[in-house]
């Protein structure tokens, strides 16, 4: 790990190993789901699938992520700070993962966990990040930084769960976001971001072919979507982003904009209808695009492409002057408002 070239090889190995683990483990988890009845049934009006489908694909994703980092630990000499941060991600991620598994299992028997215990566990996991010194560092006073760190971790955790309403959508967003953080963090000294991002990208990518499969489909469930969201939230807190301009610290908003946008878009529309923002509905941007005539494959590919462009813009704002970075943020904000206005006019049954 003395040169960037050597690091690139390790990160490529991490992506490949996590992909292989996930690709091989996912059909095994699917077989277990079929055997033990871990099925996601279309039991409510907000479900978008038509037949009962094996769930808990998140087990394969998290196991692959953890196995890859363990493998790297065995053959790589991590700096002390890197191990400390990775432990924080692992402990907090494990809490969210276990809660997700419990929620998925309860859903196979009727109803999942209430949102209150979910939030409680997510907040506890966010406190784990703080305990391991993974936090927002550019906000003062400290109590405000602590509160924003918890809010950020909980928000991104749920954003990836909320956007998981279409095969390949949440998982592909996780892949693109993880690669975005890897690209931005490479020059930094926070190597945990690099290794965690590489392992996350590979683990999510290995799951996608099975999620998109017509004959051997499996859903990742809350155990996958929430865990991916939490780990990405933790990863996003681990680099300075820019020594050139202060606005570089907002780069994660661009990298994670698509799931964040869907969360805020759905919540605003629910509130406008007088509904609870914590209850399910079909107000998602992806379902509105489908209503406009686009296929699900087109929507997933388009969303991934948008996130890739946003990831590149995030990289640019870490390299440009504050004035140019501000121009990028303003341009993206205008595009978001225009898109929201168009999507809000689409009628959803």
pLDDT, averaged across the chain: 90
Tally Cβ neighbours within 10 Å of residue 9.
12
In this prediction, residue 5 has a pLDDT band, given cuts at 50, 70 and 90, of: very low
What's the whole-model pTM score? 0.93
Domain range for 220: 4-344
Contact (CB, 8 A) for 30 and 43: no
Give me the mean pLDDT over the 146-156 stretch.
97
Residue 337 lies in a domain: yes
Residue 330 within any structural domain of the chain = yes
Count of structural domains, the chain:
1
Dihedral sign, CA of 320, 322, 327, 333?
positive
Above 90 in pLDDT, residue 109? Answer: no
pLDDT tens digits, one per residue of 312-333 = 999 999 999 999 999 999 999 9
**What is residue 48's predicted lDDT score, i.e. its pLDDT?**
64
Residue 349 lies in a domain: no
Mean pLDDT of 207-222: 95
For residues 208 and 22, the answer to whether their CB atoms sit within 8 Å is: no
State the pLDDT at residue 2.
42
Instruction: Give the per-residue pLDDT at 193.
Output: 86
Residue 99 lies in a domain: yes
Kindly report, residue by residue over 236-249, the tens digit of the pLDDT: 998 777 777 788 88
11 near 194, Cβ under 8 Å? Answer: yes
Tens digits of residue pLDDT in 162-202: 999 999 999 999 999 999 999 888 765 567 888 999 999 99
């Amino acid at each position: 790990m003395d040169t960037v070239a050597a690091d690139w090889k390790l990160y490529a190995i991490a992506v490949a190993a996590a992909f292989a683990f996930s690709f091989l483990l996912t059909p095994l988890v699917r077989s277990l789901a079929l055997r033990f009845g871990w099925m996601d049934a279309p039991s409510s009006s907000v479900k978008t699938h038509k037949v009962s489908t094996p769930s808990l694909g998140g087990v394969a994703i998290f196991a692959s992520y953890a196995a890859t980092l363990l493998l790297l630990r065995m053959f790589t000499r991590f700096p002390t700070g890197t191990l400390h941060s990775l432990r924080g991600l692992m402990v907090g991620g494990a809490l969210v993962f276990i809660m997700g598994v419990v929620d998925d299992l309860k859903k196979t028997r009727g109803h999942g966990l209430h949102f209150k215990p979910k939030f409680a566990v997510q907040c506890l996991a966010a406190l784990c990040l703080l305990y391991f010194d993974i936090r927002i560092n550019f906000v003062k006073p400290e109590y405000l930084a602590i509160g924003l760190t918890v809010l950020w971790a909980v928000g991104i955790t749920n954003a990836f769960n909320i956007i998981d309403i279409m095969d390949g959508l949440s998982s592909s967003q996780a892949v693109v976001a993880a690669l975005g953080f890897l690209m931005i963090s490479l020059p930094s000294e926070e190597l945990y971001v690099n290794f965690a991002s590489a392992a996350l990208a590979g683990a999510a990518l290995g799951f996608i072919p099975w999620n998109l499969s017509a004959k051997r489909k499996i859903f990742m469930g809350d155990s996958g979507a929430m865990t991916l969201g939490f780990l990405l939230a933790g990863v996003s807190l681990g680099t300075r982003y820019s020594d050139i301009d202060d606005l570089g610290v907002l780069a994660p908003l661009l990298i994670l904009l698509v799931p964040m946008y869907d969360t805020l878009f759905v919540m605003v529309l629910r509130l406008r209808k007088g509904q609870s923002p914590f209850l399910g509905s079909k107000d998602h941007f992806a379902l509105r695009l489908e209503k406009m005539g686009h296929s699900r494959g087109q929507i997933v590919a388009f969303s991934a492409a948008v996130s890739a462009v946003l990831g590149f813009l995030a990289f640019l704002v870490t390299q440009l002057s504050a004035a140019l970075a501000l121009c990028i943020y303003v341009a993206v904000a205008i595009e978001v408002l225009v898109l929201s206005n168009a999507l809000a006019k689409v009628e959803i049954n």
